[in-house]
Structure 1
Amino acid sequence: MDKIEKYIDELLEKSTPDRPIWNIEKILQGKKSTWNYIDGCMIKAILEMYAITKDEKYFSFADHFIDCKVMEDGSIKGYSVEELNIDNVNAGKTLFELYDLTGKEKYRKAIDLVYSQIQKMPRTKEGNFWHKNIYPNQVWLDGLYMCQPFYMEYETRFHDKKNYDDIFSQFFNVVKNMRDPKTGLYYHAYDSSREMFWCDKVTGLSQNFWLRASGWYSMALLDTLDKADASVGEPYEKMKQIFVELMDSMLKYQDESGMWYQVVNVGGMDRNYLETSGSSIMAYALLKGVRLGFLPESYRTYGEKAFHGICEKYLSEDENGELHLDGICLVAGLGGANRRSGTFDYYMSEPVVKDDAKGVGPFLLAYTEMKRLEM
């Protein structure tokens, strides 16, 4: 366990708000880091480390990182509501915690700014937010994680739960439209208009079960439930059931190493590989699901096995004695400028990298759940 904290320290020491070492996409583009979901994942995990250890270094790093991006009037450097990109809501989750910890009024204003994007998001005919303005009529599993826990926390804390029904029904639409009844797994994306080249013209669905998307979705269910008021009853219980069923479906595909494959249901296929980010999310979801009482106690073993499996396979020292977390799929999506097709070959073609926050953030969240077990 000490090894992991050493690894986190190394990452923090090498990172500034403009150039975090874990944002590999920005590093490869040679660009400064602005407001984005990748940094949001990492800062959320660092705040979780602070919540558990009460070690000041985590809090001051997270506060400084976000403080640099949020102006006194609550505007956010590099963030535009008008872009209508659901990914950009994710980093807003850090603002609730930082507002509670610091009392900085600008964080409260920034929370309202991010919420104003939710009010403007275009929707599919079923009522779900589009993934992005540039991806019209499309719902991606990732987007539920990026937005819904923030939306739920805002509704619970500041809006008298007025839009609870909207949040629950967006999840229920995903079950209805994106779940495969045979495997219990969820397809990566859905085009409500049936127009995109990557989708099935009858169902609107993309072709495969991508591990990290399934992970984001499981975290979306879990973290949204965590921010909801359980006393609403039926929709809350229904969503809990959806989470439990998803965990059961995913466990059927857990490898003996404890990890999961990049394309979940075809572990034995050539070039398919055990992937770190999605496996870390699953470890987190299982451990936190048990802690919150949504899953039976016995499921903790599966979460621990996943966590140890990742450490064994992908956490290692280089020749300078520095630690790295490998096996992280850099990015995967559908359509866009590269005309991503969502085939098995497509998911195998995306780069696999070390130390990217899409893997490190969830790995760290899983680690915080492991630490809670010691408390």
Structure 2
Amino acid sequence: YNRPDLVDEAIHQLVTVAKHTYDADKGLFYHAWDESRSQRWADSLTGRSPNFWGRSIGWYAMALVDNLDYIPVDHPRRGEILALVQTLAEGMAAYQDPESGLWYQVVDQGGREGNYLEASVSSMMMYFYAKSVNKGYLPKKWRANALDAYNGLLKHLLVLDGKHRVSLTQCCAVAGLGGNPYRDGSYDYYINERIRDNDGKATGPFIMGCLELQR
């Protein structure tokens, strides 16, 4: 749109998210951050929410690679976004389930009762890895992570019914923080949000990821 100031603002927002939500020990990004520390879900010292929700990381991953389409190659801060792509790729790879190739609803607690392999984060990460490789943001070895996610989605979450209709299952319908009734960001909150088939927040990234794998 010929608005370089908006490019600068987008970079500022992406870097600010990382500054306040990234946990170096876990290699993951928390769902949210409250600067005022006034929300009940916010840690009193850091302002961070208590858990790593898969789709929130997936949204951020997609935002990183999609914003790079509009950040000029000679922009002085482009390297910061490329570094975040590498950081996120390495962090999420550590939690990609080795048996299914997918990611859990609460990313770092795969073995905990009630947690489940979730379609939207798995589709978003497939897209992220595939596009990052296609664009040269990540080395080609990372394509394997996208392919593992793709094959896992086909094997575990795509279901064909008796009428030859395909459904993408195990999609978290929605999750957030605060509001009324109050969403506290606890583990129990995330695993008990409604699960449905063919949610657009999963099917859209799934299609986008498949297209990237075909490039």
Aligned partner of 1:337 among 173, 176, 180: 180
> Within the alignment, does 1:212 sit opposite 2:55 as a pair?
yes
CA–CA distance in 2 between the matches of 1:264 and 1:163?
32
> Within the alignment, does 1:292 sit opposite 2:115 as a pair?
no
> Within the alignment, does 1:365 sit opposite 2:205 as a pair?
no
Normalising by structure 2, report the TM-score: 0.96
In structure 2, the gaps of 5 or more residues are none
Identity %: 40
Report the equivalent of 2:152. Answer: 309
Report the equivalent of 1:99. Answer: none
> How far off its partner does 1:167 sit?
2.1
- Whether the 8 Å CA contact 2:55–2:120 is kept in 1: the answer is yes
Task: Give the partner amino acid of 2:97.
Answer: D
1:48-87 counterparts in 2 under 5 A?
Answer: none
CA–CA distance in 2 between the matches of 1:162 and 1:274?
39
CA–CA distance in 2 between the matches of 1:258 and 1:204?
32
CA–CA distance in 2 between the matches of 1:283 and 1:198?
30
1:23-102 counterparts in 2 under 5 A?
Answer: none
Report the equivalent of 2:22. Answer: 179
> Within the alignment, does 1:193 sit opposite 2:36 as a pair?
yes
| 2:42 partner SS | coil
Aligned partner of 1:254 among 96, 100, 104: 96
Structure scoring higher RCO (CA < 8 A, sep ≥ 6) equals: 2
1:152-167 counterparts in 2 under 5 A?
Answer: 157-159=1-3, 161-167=4-10
Larger Rg: 1
Task: Give the partner amino acid of 2:125.
Answer: M
| 1:194 partner SS | coil
- Whether the 8 Å CA contact 2:130–2:212 is kept in 1: the answer is yes
Aligned length: 214
Change in 2 beyond 3 A, CA 1:174/1:319: same
In structure 1, the gaps of 5 or more residues are 1-156
| 1:307 partner SS | helix
Report the equivalent of 2:199. Answer: 356
> How far off its partner does 1:158 sit?
2.5
Normalising by structure 1, report the TM-score: 0.56
Report the equivalent of 1:267. Answer: 110
| 1:348 partner SS | helix
Task: Give the partner amino acid of 2:47.
Answer: G
CA–CA distance in 1 between the matches of 2:210 and 2:46?
38
> Within the alignment, does 1:245 sit opposite 2:87 as a pair?
yes
* CA deviation map 1:342-373 (0-9, x unaligned): 0000001111110110110010111111221x
CA–CA distance in 2 between the matches of 1:337 and 1:225?
36
Task: Give the partner amino acid of 1:158.
Answer: N
> How far off its partner does 1:225 sit?
0.8
Change in 2 beyond 3 A, CA 1:231/1:271: same
> How far off its partner does 1:228 sit?
1.4
- Whether the 8 Å CA contact 2:133–2:142 is kept in 1: the answer is yes
| 2:33 partner SS | strand
| 2:159 partner SS | strand
CA–CA distance in 2 between the matches of 1:339 and 1:296?
42
CA–CA distance in 1 between the matches of 2:157 and 2:21?
31
- Whether the 8 Å CA contact 2:7–2:70 is kept in 1: the answer is no
| 2:92 partner SS | helix
Higher helix share: 1
1:86-165 counterparts in 2 under 5 A?
Answer: 157-159=1-3, 161-165=4-8
> Within the alignment, does 1:236 sit opposite 2:78 as a pair?
yes
| 1:259 partner SS | coil
* CA deviation map 1:103-147 (0-9, x unaligned): xxxxxxxxxxxxxxxxxxxxxxxxxxxxxxxxxxxxxxxxxxxxx
CA–CA distance in 2 between the matches of 1:185 and 1:269?
18
CA–CA distance in 1 between the matches of 2:5 and 2:160?
50
